[in-house]
Amino acid sequence: MSAPLMTVPVDTNDPRWQLMERVSSSPILEKSARLRAFLKFVCEMELTGRRLEINEQQIGIGVFGRPPAYSPGEDSIVRSQARLLRQRLEEYFRTTGKFEPVRITIPKGSYVPLFEPNPELAVQKPAADGDGIPVISPIAETGASQAPWRLLAALGAGVLILICSWTLLRRGHASAEDPYARFWNTIFDPQRGQVIVPADSTLILIEEITGEQVTLENYLNRDYLAKPSQTTGLSTSDLAGSNYTSMADLNLVARLVRIPDVKQMKAEIRYARDLSISEAKEKNLVLIGGPRANPWVELFASRMNFYVDFDWKRHKNSVVNKHPQAGEETLFVEDATAQNNEVYGLIAFQPSLDGEGNALLVAGTSSPATQTAADFLLSDRGFKDYLSKIKRPDGSIPHFELLLQAKNLRGNAPQSNIIASRIDP
């Protein structure tokens, strides 16, 4: 058995933790042990630097005692309790905690708690002097019965909000014409939930054992777990609890959540097996991996020109070009047996399944190929230049597909070239 992960204990002197304790002990939450445990769990994860672990699966296991292999798609306990917790938090900061300088919110589509300055204690509109420097106006009177420290805290929050507002205003003006920032804020739109879904590498192991492809329907029904358990002697629960993904995928996830151009990151990281159909339809998705390791990609296959595929007869990965243009190949095959072989990465920016948002798909014919696509996507020059060329006159970014080619040098593909693309009108 592997040793447990070392975690940093929460700092009980942190004002944010103390705020959480005040909320938990208030009359609004004191009679609900479940909601108190929920709030404490997500706040502790956030304040100890474990934001990436805050997801529906972990909350179900850590707060509500669900088994490791439980399916959030079939058990809505976390989602229903999250709705109640959001309502109680709104009630607390509307009543008992009205004069708290900081508020706790859990945005819809996410379970990551945010600690934000209380806008009720700040001036709504910053004035500016002739040099364009914000001028702090007096805060609204909060009543003579409020303790002096409340007024000082409110003033501090007001100053902080004004400074931050001014900074964001200047930053927003400077980046308004930046297509790179606009692209990422379209994906990670704070008005809409977002889920980052890395590949399920266990699927490839199961397919190698059974010699059969796992479709999205099989994946959702979990039928694919029965046959390998008969072959290997492993139980279905053993296989269901095996959560593996590639280092390339993990690297991309870590880099995505640190993109400086994103104004407000509220994305959840969800293992592919734990995503539900409703979430796939209602949220902006970032899908990593091809259909063999991430069956959710199938939902976008019919609308895309390029598609990562696997040849079961030759056991080779490729990218299919459904409608080749002049000079293009119909199939781009990776030969893993060749030295310094060519690999192919795919980046697709597509409409979301409900048509109300957007989706980003990043895949490759191998792990180095996926890494190639990720490197290009987050590069300082290549992707920024590409977006600058395809942006519309109003600055918006059209949906597109981008096919990259690179040389695999001992598991690394340091340089890539665009060999084909498609841009929606």
What is the pLDDT, as a whole number, of residue 288? 94
Residues 260, 141 share a domain: no
pLDDT-derived band at 314 (thresholds 50, 70, 90) equals confident
Residues 152, 110 share a domain: no
pLDDT: which is higher, 125 or 355: 355
CB count within 10 Å of CB 424 equals: 12
**Structural domain includes residue 353:** yes
Quick: pLDDT tens for 81-105: 999 999 999 999 999 998 888 899 9
pLDDT: which is higher, 409 or 199: 199
**Structural domain includes residue 234:** no
| Structural domain ending residue among the three candidates 72, 88, 117 | 117
pLDDT at 163 over 50: no
Residues 135, 92 share a domain: no
pLDDT at 277 over 70: yes
Residues 272, 169 share a domain: no
Quote the number of domains for the chain: 3
Q: Which of 210-214, 304-308, 344-348 has the lowest mean pLDDT?
A: 210-214
Q: What is the average pLDDT across 73-82?
A: 90
CATH at 284: 3.30.379.10
Q: Which of 98-107, 226-235, 359-368 has the lowest mean pLDDT?
A: 226-235
**All residues at 6 or more sequence positions from 28 whose CB lies less than 8 Å from its CB, including other chains:** 88, 91, 92, 95, 96
Q: What is the average pLDDT across 240-256?
A: 76
What is the pLDDT, as a whole number, of residue 390? 95
Residues 129, 94 share a domain: no
Residues 158, 51 share a domain: no
- Nearest to 98, CA basis, from 87, 86, 89, 108: 89
Residues 132, 44 share a domain: no
**Structural domain includes residue 208:** no
- Nearest to 386, CA basis, from 378, 351, 321: 378
**Structural domain includes residue 131:** yes
pLDDT: which is higher, 423 or 249: 423
**Structural domain includes residue 258:** yes
What is the pLDDT, as a whole number, of residue 388? 93
What is the pLDDT, as a whole number, of residue 135? 40
Instruction: Give the global pTM.
Output: 0.59
What is the pLDDT, as a whole number, of residue 171? 42
The percentage of residues in the chain with a pLDDT greater than 90, rounded to a whole number, is 37
**Structural domain includes residue 294:** yes
The rounded mean pLDDT for the chain is 80
| Structural domain ending residue among the three candidates 68, 90, 117 | 117
CB count within 10 Å of CB 199 equals: 29
What is the pLDDT, as a whole number, of residue 422? 96
Residues 295, 270 share a domain: yes
pLDDT-derived band at 409 (thresholds 50, 70, 90) equals low
**Structural domain includes residue 125:** yes
CA gap 51, 45 in Å, rounded: 6
Residues 131, 96 share a domain: no
Residues 415, 379 share a domain: yes
What is the pLDDT, as a whole number, of residue 405? 92
Q: At what angle do helices 33-47 and 77-94 cross, to 10 degrees?
A: 90
pLDDT at 143 over 70: no
Q: What is the average pLDDT across 128-136?
A: 42
Residues 269, 155 share a domain: no
| Residues 207 and 311 sit within 8 Å (Cβ to Cβ) | no
Quick: pLDDT tens for 318-329: 999 999 999 999
pLDDT-derived band at 130 (thresholds 50, 70, 90) equals very low
Q: What is the average pLDDT across 333-347?
A: 84
**Structural domain includes residue 3:** no
pLDDT: which is higher, 411 or 407: 407
- Nearest to 86, CA basis, from 59, 60, 65, 111: 111
**All residues at 6 or more sequence positions from 230 whose CB lies less than 8 Å from its CB, including other chains:** none
Q: What is the average pLDDT across 395-413?
A: 84
Burial of 45 (0-12, 13-18, 19+ CB in 10 A): buried
| Structural domain that includes position 102 | 15-117
What is the pLDDT, as a whole number, of residue 307? 92
Residues 395, 317 share a domain: yes
pLDDT at 142 over 70: no
Q: What is the average pLDDT across 393-414?
A: 83
**All residues at 6 or more sequence positions from 35 whose CB lies less than 8 Å from its CB, including other chains:** 29, 81, 84, 85, 88
